[in-house]
Chain A
Amino acid sequence: MVHIHRQTKSATVNPLKSSQPLGAALAFLGVDGAIPLFHGSQGCTSFALVLCVRHFKETIPLQTTAMDELATVLGGAAHLEEAILNLKKRANPRLIGICTTALVETRSEDFASQIANIKRVRAEELAGTEIVLANTPDFDGGLEEGWARAVAAMIQRITLPGQQAPRSKKATLIQRIKGPSKQPWKRKKVAILPGWHLTVADIEQLREMVESFGLKPVIMPDVSGSLDGTVPDRWMPTTYGGTSIEDIQQLGTVVQCIAIGEHMRRPAELLQKLTGVPYVLVQSLTGLKNVDRFVSLLSEISGVPAPAKIHRRRSQLQDALLDGHFHFAGKKIAIATEPDQLYQFATFFTGLGAEIISAVTTTGESEILEKVPAESIQIGDLGDFEDLAGGADLLVTHSHGRQAAERLGIPLLRVGFPVFDRLGSQHKLTVLYRGTRDLIFEAANIIQANQHAPSPESIDALRKRRNAG
């Protein structure tokens, strides 16, 4: 039984969380031709934008309704309308993803009806552009909640309701007998709803694995198409790549939805409610057994056995576990991140014989916390993390953990968001057989790089520990 400690401090010291609207913006950025729009003061956007640029090292389309004091007092509908029309005129996006902020949510207006009204009055001008609203005040939630709310909002707004896929037993049976079709448009479609914590490389790897079973994955959001760091041949004011609006519309035609991370349960449930598509929730795709279950699931949906290259990758992971476990056994790990990523990494490390000596997360609301293999979890900030992580062999959190790492003299494995002081965080694999293998190597290498040569003192410390024990 995990003991969850609530936050009792008044001053947050070195925040662990990124804001909820930022999480929503990240999800909208995984859609093709999108521009996220923060409904708030221009600073709300500016801070989020700078942070995203520092993390992704990309131009990020992110706009603001530029609420000023007057508009805040009188109401922001005019600013919202003007912003939407300006974006449409300038960039002609397929999707404008509105993320509300604490400022406008504190004043509290009926944004949904305002948007409905704008769409009605400006129907002609706004034709061809979806407008989706995610209510994401900064005083609530973090990346997880913001991301999930944006995904749910897109399903609610864009996906065509009603059951669309032939899912009778007979149809399934016939398809199974015939085997996977060579023609892609006849392949069975599977919807994947990844959590915010999957990287570009993770999404690419996921797609490849699902395809290797002859299935057609529809991944939403798909940051691998939009935030994978490429050099387009002309200036793009919106995202260029990601899930297409058409694919979101047609989500009801998939045979199965797979949600990754507990925070994706709500969007998956919503899709099921709207279209009847059943969902499976995968809590983590890291670690041999978790991946095994996922592969079994794909095999079951597709009716085909795992291809040879997957056998090979699993075998590579087995070998990495054998080679790597020496470096983890008995090691003390301290992790600070949002709940699903905390679960992902905590189970990864304990699966190699390490121990989680401190776990800090952003919210106590997530059900996954009960399953985190740690004695207790602190809801808190990196200040708490620093207090609790003394004596650890490895810190695991985002780049803001660098100050704690420096002061404690403990190496830091950077995961999650933001990672602004290392290159290539988007191309780091953290899931499936390969991602688990790579994580073993990366973490073990950090631990090895920080080993000290034995000294009389260190040996003496070991001797004393034995005596004490």
Chain B
Amino acid sequence: MSSLNVKIQDVFNEPACERNRSKASNVRNKGCSKPLTPGAAAGGCAFDGAKIVLQPITDVAHLVHAPLACEGNSWDNRGTASSGPTLWRTSFTTDLTEQDIVTGNSERKLFKAIRQIKEAYAPPAIFVYATCVTALIGDDIEAVCKRAEETCGLPVVPINAPGFVGSKNLGNKLAGEALLDHVIGTVEPDDAGPHDINILGEFNLAGEFWFVKPLLDRLGIRVRACIPGDARYLDIASAHRARAAMLVCSTALINLARKMEERWDIPFFEGSFYGITATSEALRQIAELLVKKGADQEILDRTDTLIAEEEAIAWKRLEEYRPRLEGKRVLINTGGVKSWSLVHALMETGMEIVGTSVKKSTVEDKERIRQALKDEHQMFESMAPRELYALLSEHKADIMLSGGRTQFIALKAKMPWVDINQERHRPYAGYDGMVELVRQIDLAIHNPVWSQVREPAPWEDRPATKEQLPSTRRDTDTTRVAPSKSRQHDAGDFVEC
């Protein structure tokens, strides 16, 4: 078995994964990714997943060893924010040509590319990503990276997650493994302190972690490394000296959290910054873990005081929206913002949840959602575009919260929509983030365009005019289309943490 296959088996066996714990061992060995159906699959590949986790490291040069498409079709497409370096937004790829592949020139080209980047940009490290084609032709990127590291005198980290080994989620985990194998623990910080923590699986989308960081600052808690949001290479290399960790996106990086606990005795908990109570709970748990690891007890009181203050402000601000949002029906369709506490906060503001995806929710979250919702059927794993469109166009909701892939399903159904996934431009984490989300929901629902686009044209009275609508140009016999019961295009699959 190749080392990559061993690695994949290892992450599939993750003992800390809640879903895994509920599986029999023979089932567990088969891995957590469902087999893909050709012609009815959606979502990214393992390489995509690896890049999502690592690319927000802002000062690293990310070099994709592949023909054009892997990087050329996907660069500079994520909304994570940096407080300084911009190198992560510069795209590097070996852009292999047929000639490179046929003549076996690709490893040499990779080596030269690394050297070229080192000379032109002098980054603190270079991450090299394997892809399907370079894996297929047998390029040994680990060997090339090792040699380049010796020659160039900087860390050159191989990220071995070619697309065809599996899903985006698997790629997330393989990225975590690469950090464990090559980065974390390679630099000793000279300033480790009793209040140092790591935040794992926080992407700093739209800069939203900066809603949370000031709260930690006020408590005297230092973020040693936020992985990957706004991270720098040295933060991650010295992350092993943190006292405690919070795991934000458990499906992506649980293996990283558990192994850091194993290796460096950094206890962790799973939490979320989406929602008021979740944020409070997260702050409290961080403080508790630090105290367990020897920090002064008084941090607990300070945390409670801060939580009380911040919650009071947030609930008061949310209350202002109640008259406008009371009774509004919300459909949540995402695997990304999976927190029960989001559901909770929206309901507290008077909104009704008419459906929510629970694809990436924890067992505990699901139970809480089940209790909060009137009808169990309102929980779904995923929904096919056609069903989703039907649901929205029948106006069974007043707004949908989802990600980019289902954006246009909502809009074509003339349904207000707010982006709560990774491409969004608004920050929703922490207390202020929750208020911002509710504000955005209010703005979306009450936008004057809805009354304009939903009304038919006043002159549209003859049936002949309808013939001109684009969808009826074709003689599609809709009854011939198979019902969408079978597993198919998963509208929520686009998303991750």
Interfacial residues, chain A to chain B (CB-CB below 8 A):
9-15, 17-22, 32-33, 37, 40-48, 50-51, 53-54, 57-59, 63-69, 71-72, 79-80, 82-87, 89-92, 94, 101-103, 106-107, 137-140, 142, 225, 230-237, 240-241, 381, 383, 400, 403
Contact = CB atoms under 8 A, between A and B. Distances in A.
A48 B69 contact: yes
B409 interface: yes
Interface residues of B, number: 88
B69 A59 contact: no
Contact of A44 (B69, B71, B385, B390): B69
Query: What 10 A-B pairs come out closest when comparing CB atoms?
Result: A43-B45, A232-B471, A86-B39, A83-B39, A11-B113, A83-B38, A19-B69, A10-B112, A12-B95, A66-B36
B126 to A, nearest CB: 10
25 contacts: A11-B112, A12-B68, A12-B93, A22-B69, A42-B43, A43-B44, A43-B45, A43-B70, A44-B163, A50-B74, A50-B77, A51-B77, A69-B162, A82-B39, A90-B481, A92-B481, A102-B67, A102-B96, A102-B132, A138-B70, A139-B101, A231-B414, A232-B469, A235-B412, A237-B386
Interface in B388-442: 389-390, 393, 404-405, 407-409, 412, 414
B481 A91 contact: yes
Most chain A CB within a 10 A radius of its CB, from B66, B89, B92, B494: B92
Contact of A53 (B69, B90, B408): B408
Nearest to A65: B38
A298 to B, nearest CB: 26
Interface of B: 36-48, 63, 66-77, 89-98, 100-101, 109-117, 120, 132-133, 136-137, 162-167, 385-386, 389-390, 393, 404-405, 407-409, 412, 414, 453, 469-474, 476-478, 480-482, 484, 486, 488-489, 494
Contact of A63 (B39, B163, B405, B494): B39
Contacts of B477: 92
A41 B163 contact: yes
Contact of B72 (A17, A64, A92, A235): A17
A54 B77 contact: yes
Contact of A15 (B93, B166, B470, B494): B93
B473 A46 contact: no
Contact of B100 (A72, A138, A139): A139
A233 B484 contact: no
A15 B45 contact: no
A65 B163 CA distance: 13
Most chain B CB within a 10 A radius of its CB, from A32, A235, A236: A235
B94 A403 contact: no
Contacts of B120: 13
Contact of B91 (A13, A103, A138): A13
Nearest to B71: A15
Contacts of B39: 37, 63-66, 82-87, 90
Contact of B94 (A10, A54, A83, A237): A10
Contacts of B97: 139-140
B133 A106 contact: yes
B379 to A, nearest CB: 23
Given A47-B69, A234-B471, A103 B63 contact: no
A235 B165 CA distance: 33
Given A41-B45, A139-B67, 4 more contacts: A12-B94, A19-B73, A43-B70, A86-B39
